[in-house]
Each structure stands twice: as C-alpha cells, then as structure tokens.
Structure 1
C-alpha cells in the first residue's frame, strides 16, 4: 500500500444491495481483514440458531436488516422464505436477510468473518454442518481463526479435521469440543498453523491445508499389566484395525476419531459393565489412563449420581439491551437489559 493511502474492507451480499458494513482502515500485516461495522440505515445482528443475540466474541450467524435488504428472489418463493425472515427486533412487517456467514463481534465493535454456516458433509451416515463445528472451534479460548474440512487421506476413511491459529492446545481443544458437540462432530484431529492459507481472492485455500500427523504405528510397545488393561487393549486394537496397542499410546493419535470413540466406549461398557461417556475417552486417551479412570469409579458415580448433585440453578434469561436505535419502541419495552447475561445491543447505523 502506497504512502498516504488507506485501504478498507466493504462487506455486503447482493441481497443487501451493494454493501452493509465497512471496516476501519486496515493495518498492514494484519492476519485478517474485519468485515467492519454497519453503514447508515443498515442493522447487523449476530444470532444463534434460536435467533438470540450472541455476546461479544461468541460466534453466530449474521443477519442483515434495514433499507438495503431486497424483497426476495425472483420466482423462487421457497428460497425467499428460507432466507428473508421476520425480524424480531424491528417494527411490524420488518424482515432481515439470513446471510449464512459465521461472524463474531470484536472488542472494537467490528465484525470478524469466520466462515460459512451451510457447508454440509456426510460421514459414516451422519450429516454434519461444517459451519457449526467451525463456530464451536472458533469460540474456544486461545483460538484466533478456525477452519474445519472433511479429509479422506486414506481411501474410504473420511474424517473431520480442524485447523486453528492461536495459542490453544490441540488436545485441550478436542476435550472442550466433546462438551459442546455430539461425539460424531468432534474433529479427529486439530492442527495448529501460523496462518490459514488463502487463495489470491482471500478465501480459504482448502487444498493447501496439511494432512494431520497421526502417531506412527508400531512404536515402542508396553504390554497391559492387569485384566482391565488387557480388555481395553483388545478393544482398541479391534476398533483401530491394529494387531496390538501399547498401553501408553493415545487412541486419537493412532488415528481414532469421534465415531470410533463411540464404538470403543460402547464395547468397554458392555465388557466391563461400565457407564462411561465418550467424554471419558477424550480425557483419558491411553489404555493405562482409561484403566485408572475406571478403577477410580469416578465416571460410574457421576453417571448414576443423585439428581441433587446436578446443577439446578435456573438458566439466566436471554436479553437484548434496549439501547439500539433501530429497534421498535414495542421491542424495547419487551426486551430489557439484563445484568446477568450482559448481551450487547444489535449493532446498527441510523434509525431506519
């Protein structure tokens, strides 16, 4: 960029007429360019799947409202109905456009683009929205940017693989994802990169993403030392298609994924009359660690514990602060600020 010149990023799908957001001047060497904040007479909402506003830093889908939103698609009523939806934050008849873009508000009031919400793949019978997995990944502490793709590095063996930039630990990430997502949606591996590869057009270059490095098979072998370890070792070997597995090898680094983890836990519970959850395998990934976990009885106690041990505190109400000038007066009366959840107001330009 030449001296004295300023570059900005303007964002706007065709359905929102030219552009709906504009960034602050971009900084040289920045890892990514933000979408920016809404232009006058536009309103931007970052919402979850229940159309609830997402707090600052939390990933959601971007919706656009205001004067620039189109009326719909020509002769495509079904698509129009799915993309142009009623806006709960405006007056009677107000509508907003569902972009399908995953974004989050940054601390400086600008939107960061993270990916698409409508990329679907099918792995071993399960239909998975890559955007949903990516949103969960991007929402974890220490993750700056995230991408999720389906890879088939071995013929017939399709797996989810996550890629991140930032300081987060890959092992810790998968454990956290196991709490937030169904087991079949947890990536088989998470790869940390210095930067996500981009095409000349600034889009994610999926072909340049490296294959994950799984632990080499046939390394130093440590035999089981008790009947529980022998049982688990046999199950690991059978599910992974290996002759034998060392008691200190990580199930996931040997190539295990979330779906095979479900098989392992089911077989262990049957063989040992246990009550383990899939999360247990994410926490204790080796045969030795899993055997010690079973011996402690902690998982059985938690699974069958009395209801009084479970949290019974009411869920804090979801609220939208009533400071947005774009929202109608009736909406402002109905949605009051809540100090318990401290959600940000929908970002908007001038009153529509």
Structure 2
C-alpha cells in the first residue's frame, strides 16, 4: 500500500544542535544573537551586518509595526523592500511584533502588486513617496533607520518568540485568475527549518546564498537556515542574481557553501570550479541527472520537492547520482506523511501511480479569505481507518522499492516552467480582461528542447495585435507568467460544454501547419517585418546569445525568437549596467523588440565600458 509516514531514520542526521523550537524560529535566532552577536549574519553588496545589528534593526521594525497595530486580530504586514539585510531585519521585526509577514516581489507589475496588497493591513517600505501600487486606504510606514551615531540594543518588549500563529502569507498562481494567499503557521516553518538543518548538516561555518525571489517560500529556507544555526546569509545584488557568469563569479567571491537553484537556473550556470560550494539543492521542476553530470560529479546535489501549501519542501533525495534515471523526489522529511491515492481517495498499490496527498507537520492553514478553495484543497480523508487532514497536490507519483517517490506528471492543467508553477487559468483570465479577446487557452509547447508558455487567443474582429495583448498581460502578470509565444485566431475550438478545447488547441502550436484554420481565416497579426534597427554591436551579440537569432528588424519579438524570462533578465541587466540605464523588466516584457531597446539607448550618450 503506497503510504509513507516519515521515519526519523529515513534521512541522515547531523550532530545535536540548537535550532528552532516547535513554535517559532525567532528563539533560535535570538540564541545566535546572544552567542554570536558580533559575527556576520548578512552579507549584501558592501554591507556586512552582524547578528547584533540585525536584531537591532528587527527591534526598530517591531516598534513601528506595533505602533501601527489597530487591534482586531493578527496584523498582516507587507514587506516592500528589495532583498538584503533590511529585508531580513523587516521579516524578523514583523514576527517580533507578533504580526504575520506578507513578502512581495517588487519586480512584479503594479497591477499585480495592488492585487496582493489586499492580503495585508500595513506596508513597510523604503521611504519617500508611498509606492503607487499601494492602496490609499491601507496604512504604510517607512523602514526605520537608526539615529546617526546611536545604535540601541535589542528592546526587551519586543519578543524573541513570535506572538502570533501565522508566519507568512505567500501567494501562488490561482486557477480563478487571482493569486491564492497561502497561510503558513510558525509551527510548521520552525519544524521544517530544523529538519533541513539536520538533513543538510548546516553549521555556523556555512555561507548560504539567498537567490530566490522574495515572494516564494524558498527565500524562507535560505534565510532561516543560515540565521537559526549561526551561519552567514549572502545576498547578491543586480546582475549577480541572474544565472550566468555574474552569479558564478559572485558565488566564488563570497565563498558560498550552500545554494538552491531550479534546474533551469543551474543549466544557465557556466561549468566552472567552485571549491567552497559543498551543497547544491535543486527543486521546483524535474531534474535530469545526465544534464547536470558536471555538478553531480563535483558537489553534493540534492533534489527537493514540495508545494508552498506544505511549507517549502516535503521530500528530499539528499544525494543524486548520475545513475538516477529519473531523479527521485526522495522520501518525506521528518514529520511529513505522504499518500498516493486513487480516484476514490484510497491508497494505490506500491509501484502504481497515484495522486500525491501530503499530511503531517507543515501543512498550511489554508487560503486566506477563500474557505471553499481551502476546503477542497485541504480535506480530511479517512485513510486506512483513520481521519487525516491532507493537501491535494495535483501531482502524480509512484513509489520505488526503496521508498522514494518519482514524479509522474499532473492530474490537472497546472504548468511548471523553469521551476515556476503556473495556473493556465490565471493567464487566460488576464487575456480575457482585454476587450476584443473572446477566448483564451494557455499551455506549454516545445521549443528547442524545452517547453515555453504559449497563449492562443480568439480575436474575432482582428483588432487586437500580438503586441497589444502582450503589453496588456505584462501589466497584470509577473514576467514568468507572460507567454513567450502568443498566437491569435479568429476563434478557438470548443468542447461540447462551450469551453476552449485544450487538446484541439494544442494542434495550433504552429499556425498554418494544422487543419484548424485556413490561411485567410487567421487574424491579422502585428507587423511581421519592419525596417532594420540600429543597435550597438554588444547589444546585438547579447540578443543573439539570449535568443539564438538576430534582432533583424524593429519589430523582431524577443520571446518569439527564442528568448525566455530568464534570458530577458540577463539581457536587461547587461544593458542597464553597461549603458547606465534603468530599463524595467515589465516595460520590456510589454514591448520586447529591438525598437524599444533602440529608443532606450538613444536616451543616453554613455558608451559601453
């Protein structure tokens, strides 16, 4: 029977150490402040912040958050700061004030950030004008700076153990078109960090990279794994955060020992020697050991699996080898149970595929303000004669004879592209919000050995162009959810229920190659050809490296030419740093053409250095 309660002996254990309590990670961090107050806690750019200084920053944040509290329940505080020591201090300070943190990614478009703001009661931001995306009727406070020449010690009235139940509210892609606010309790987070610290044998000598976006749960494991054990959190800035030579140089210079990347990110790293790196944790998407033989042969590579709704990761295969084909998801970490169930919610025999359900410590409390969706995703089932609260992952898996799980696809339409889980319905809902689009279907389509997000849209009047639709989507969705390809059609095939027929639409992957529409029925697209464009040779080279194609004309589309969101970030970082520009990701995603870059470059006379 394919059920697997986690056993303490299933995974390697490290020596006994001080770690988070069952209630909160704050007590473990406070312990490190007392024991290692002058040791470096966070390194970011030229800033070196000790444990004592970090705790003091957290105390200042706790003071302003507490002063802003209006009573009537647990305060939810959005962190409107970029990654770095202040972001970490803000997270800890929110918890010291007994409030819940709502991390957001400031690179997301304002419309999406405005949507996420509905999950918060207060914003902590850098200063100056309140961000335009923040609602006027919700208060905001400035991150409190220390008085010049005065650095007070930690204030006792702000706790070293969290006063509230909720640690974080994180947002995942939602099938209704709106992000789902996942409520993670402190108890599960503390338990998970303890398990990871033991599993990966983290010590105070470790220097842990913080590479994840501020809005995803992995940022919690990177941050807290370092601070609860007395290690150093290393935070890259700018282009150093983009997988490529800049990140590799930063990893080497910072002597990073532990890093977490998606396989897509790892594939973008040049294969160079990193003598200090002892552990690479891969997660977020399928791992192909043959593709990463270089790293597996030189470092410990672990494969981690787990949805946000179950707190960071629930399964780990600690040592992936080149012989693992396919790479297993691993066994459940201590405190987690897994069940592979059939359509009747009963366990399937070992070796057969089933719908993966998770239980035990670390399950989210649910989706804030969404009781029906919470009830559906977190039901209580009777399994083997006992009642168990579970989370339905939507993932299929099967169990190997050694007890490790192997991923076997999805039971629904959710996509996983580049380590980012996407609900196609969210992309489709955003497309339908544009007048003139009557139907939409988002799906993954193959492109040069990888899958890319593709949108098929029905525009009966032919008035909507691909550029207009892309600009609309870029204003509503994070860059990772803006389709690399957009195909416009006068209509889309429908099922008998009147909904887009995804199976039939998949045949439209290459318009004109299939029977779905005659050539004269295709809606007019944006201009295919345009005049040649003048770009510096270096920018042309970077475009070719990112897409595999020339920026031939003013209207050549970056994404249609083979670029993706990761390559887009790398291109913009190179241009911005070399030419002294500040091209925003959301702006280029809306107009991903050489003409846009040429206009931006024309605004500066700076030559590449």
TM-score, length basis structure 1: 0.46
TM-score, length basis structure 2: 0.28
Higher RCO, 1 or 2 (CA under 8 Å, sep at least 6)? 1
